[in-house]
Structure formats: structure tokens, C-alpha cells
């Protein structure tokens, strides 16, 4: 099971130079949570909602992005990709060859691959019952910091009801 058989080839991306607004428009329009950053047709970084929350005052894409992202080659085994995603607590893995972006392997793509493996193990052996929520009026920089410290990618939000 090779990465190239499960990756998404039509990847939304941004180019340097760029700014926060460029990324926010793309994330809002597409509903995705992160995009690769390209310069001179090669991947130089990746930017996620977490990056935007971590540096709320920064506007320049080059200073917001995570430089030198962890990548994988298309002929690598999907199991290796899964280990990289889990061990590095990331949700997307750029698929590159000679520095050129060929695709993106997301957690969702990995779930499709896992579904084909016909695993019999029950979910109760891997989930956690520990969770927390934040109030809807919590400032975004605080939310970003809480997410960073706790190592989560999503937090339930509570309102008055």
C-alpha cells in the first residue's frame, strides 16, 4: 500500500510572497485547515489554522508558516506515513519528489486506507475519554495557546444553552 495510491493530487496551495488574508480566504472557501506553501515551484512550508492562531498579530505568510515541513515520497509505504502523522502529531503530510509537491496525504486519506485493511480491533482500545471545552467568548489567542499546550486540533465550544 503506497502513499501515491491514497494521496490527494489536486492540492490547494499558497505561494510566497503572501499574507494572512490570502490564507484565511482559502481556508474559508475550501473548508480545509491547512495548505502547503510554495516558492519557485518547491514546497517551503505549510500553514495551518494553528499557525494563524499561534501568531495572531503576524501578517506575512513567510513568518506565519511552519518552515521545512515533514514530507514523504510517493513510493513510501502507507504504514510509514501513518507513523509520521501520529509521531509528529500532524494532520497532513506533503508528498514530494525532488522538492516538488505532488500531493498531500491527510488523516482523512489515511482513514480510507485503513478502511481497506479490514482491521478487527475495537475502538475502545484506542480512544480517550478525557476531554475539555471552552466558552464561546474565549479570545482566539487564548484558544490557540490552549490547543498548543494540550496538543489537540479541535475543542468543543460551549454557549449559553
Report the C-alpha gap between 137 and 134 in whole angstroms.
8
**Same-domain pairing of 142 and 105:** no
**Same-domain pairing of 66 and 97:** yes
| pLDDT tens digits, one per residue of 57-69 | 899 999 999 999 9
| pLDDT tens digits, one per residue of 82-103 | 999 989 988 899 999 998 999 9
Lowest mean pLDDT among 39-43, 46-50, 150-154: 150-154
Q: Which of 62, 113, 58, 60 is nearest to 85 (CA)?
A: 113
**Same-domain pairing of 72 and 148:** no
The domain tally of the chain equals: 2
Please give, one letter per residue, the 3-state secondary structure of 43-96. Answer: EEEEEEHHHHHHCCCCCEHHHHCEECCCCECCCCEHHHHHHHHHHHCCCEEEEE
Report the C-alpha gap between 100 and 42 in whole angstroms.
5
**Same-domain pairing of 136 and 102:** no
The reported pTM is 0.70
By residue range, what is the domain housing residue 148? 123-158
Backbone angles phi, psi at 43, to 5 degrees: -75, 130
- Check residue 89 and give its pLDDT: 85
**Same-domain pairing of 79 and 136:** no
Q: Is the pLDDT of residue 146 over 90?
A: no
**Same-domain pairing of 132 and 78:** no
Better-scored residue on pLDDT, 14 or 151 = 14
**Same-domain pairing of 88 and 56:** yes
Q: Which of 23, 72, 73 is nearest to 52 (CA)?
A: 23
**Same-domain pairing of 35 and 75:** yes
**Same-domain pairing of 104 and 130:** no
Task: Kindly provide the b/e burial profile for residues 77-103, where b requires at least 16 CB atoms within 10 angstroms of the residue's own CB.
Answer: ebeebbebbeeeebbbbbbbeeeebbb
**Same-domain pairing of 142 and 70:** no
**Same-domain pairing of 132 and 106:** no
Report the C-alpha gap between 138 and 121 in whole angstroms.
38
The CATH code of the domain that includes 94 is: 3.10.580.10
Q: Which of 125, 18, 96, 25 is nearest to 61 (CA)?
A: 18
DSSP assignment, residue 123?
Answer: G
**Same-domain pairing of 58 and 102:** yes
Amino acid at each position: 500500500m503506497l502513499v501515491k495510491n491514497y494521496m490527494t493530487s489536486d492540492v490547494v496551495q499558497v505561494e510566497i510572497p503572501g499574507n494572512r488574508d490570502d490564507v484565511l480566504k482559502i481556508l474559508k472557501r475550501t473548508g480545509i485547515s491547512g495548505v502547503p506553501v510554495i516558492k519557485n515551484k518547491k514546497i517551503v512550508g505549510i500553514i495551518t489554522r494553528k499557525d494563524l492562531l499561534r501568531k495572531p498579530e503576524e501578517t506575512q505568510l513567510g513568518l506565519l508558516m511552519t518552515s521545512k515541513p515533514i514530507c514523504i515520497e510517493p513510493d513510501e509505504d502507507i504504514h510509514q506515513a501513518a507513523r509520521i502523522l501520529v509521531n509528529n502529531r500532524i494532520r497532513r503530510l506533503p508528498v514530494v519528489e525532488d522538492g516538488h509537491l505532488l500531493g498531500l496525504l491527510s488523516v482523512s486519506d489515511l482513514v480510507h486506507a485503513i478502511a481497506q485493511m479490514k482491521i478487527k480491533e475495537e475502538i475502545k482500545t484506542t480512544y480517550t475519554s478525557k476531554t475539555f471545552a471552552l466558552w464561546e467568548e474565549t479570545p482566539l489567542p487564548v484558544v490557540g495557546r490552549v490547543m498548543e499546550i494540550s496538543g489537540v486540533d479541535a475543542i468543543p465550544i460551549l454557549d449559553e444553552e
